[in-house]
Amino acid sequence: MNLIIWNARGIENPRAFWELGRLIAEKCLTLLFFSEKKMREVNCRWWKFKLGFSGSFMVDCNGKSGGLALFWKSPAIVSVKSFSQGHIDCIIQEDDVIWKFTGFYGHPEAALRRISWDLLQRLKAISELRDFPWLVGGDFNEICYDSEKLGGNRKSPSHLQAFRDTLELCALQDISCFGEFFTWVNRRESNHAIFERLDRFVGNLGWRLMFPTARVESLEFYHSDHRPLCLKLYGDQARYSDGSRN
């Protein structure tokens, strides 16, 4: 099973849509999570059909901003448990493997990002009650360390610390990534260009033990200012279901 997360501003471009279709086939994609996709219900159904998915769920955009969408293919069985403007939380089952996935979008306003961190902590409490391995992926709209930004002014150390504290409280750690490090660019001239690592996958210990060979690949921008990230659950190895080879 492979999964892509993407802040997909600009995907309305026909060339970008063609690239997305190619990616789905090339990566043998099972799940696709979009953030900042200004999509209506009728568009969601059309995308599901055109891209070859069997299921979909969306959170409508708020005016001209936001919007989330999740698409999946069989044999994955997806059950959505909760949603908001900042997340889609679901249980995923494929054969004997069951785990929790949260597609996440951090609040775009730094002063209100505490709302997003509080949401993650509430979802963590629910995860503990259900005792599922947990993966979170999306555009967090924040970096963890100064080294995750190139260009522009330094971010508030207290904001970075708040993000790190939230990941620690939720027992979430980065899934190893290869490819380009920075996932967002402001698309300005070279002297004013800013690069940041805003997008990532993080998982708890139970999830990382379930998928010990999982790897993340950062892809091209494809007409968005964010790179899509592709997660291979089983890496290039044989499939794992409980930490031991089938």
Q: What percent of the chain has pLDDT over 90?
A: 65
From residue 184, alpha-carbon distances to 105, 150, 164 in Å are: 14, 10, 19
> In whole angstroms, what is the distance from residue 83 CA to residue 85 CA?
7
67-84 residue pLDDT tens: 899 999 999 999 999 999
Which residue stretches of the chain are H helix?
Answer: 14-26, 41-51, 113-130, 157-169, 205-210
Q: What percent of the chain has pLDDT over 70?
A: 89
Indicate the fold that domain 2-232 takes in CATH.
Answer: Deoxyribonuclease I; Chain A (3.60.10)
For 165, the 3-state DSSP assignment is helix
The per-residue pLDDT for 65 is: 63
The per-residue pLDDT for 132 is: 86
Confidence category of residue 39, pLDDT binned at 50, 70, 90: low
The per-residue pLDDT for 40 is: 66
Helix then strand then coil, % of the chain, to nearest 5? 30, 35, 40
Which H/E stretch holds residue 96? none
Contacts of 187 (CB under 8 A, 6+ apart): 193, 225
Confidence category of residue 193, pLDDT binned at 50, 70, 90: very high
Mean of pLDDT over the chain: 88
For 108, the 3-state DSSP assignment is coil
> In whole angstroms, what is the distance from residue 212 CA to residue 189 CA?
41
- Calculated CA dihedral for residues 84, 85, 88, 89, nearest 10 degrees: -40
The per-residue pLDDT for 242 is: 40
* Predicted TM-score (pTM) of this structure: 0.91
Residue 237 clears pLDDT 60, i.e. is over it: no
Better pLDDT: 210 or 36: 210
Please compute the mean of the pLDDT values over residues 158-169 and round it to a whole number: 97
- The token pair that represents 194 in the structure block: 């800013």
For 50, the 3-state DSSP assignment is helix
Confidence category of residue 243, pLDDT binned at 50, 70, 90: very low
Residue 128 clears pLDDT 90, i.e. is over it: no
Residue 144 clears pLDDT 50, i.e. is over it: yes
Confidence category of residue 241, pLDDT binned at 50, 70, 90: very low
Better pLDDT: 240 or 226: 226
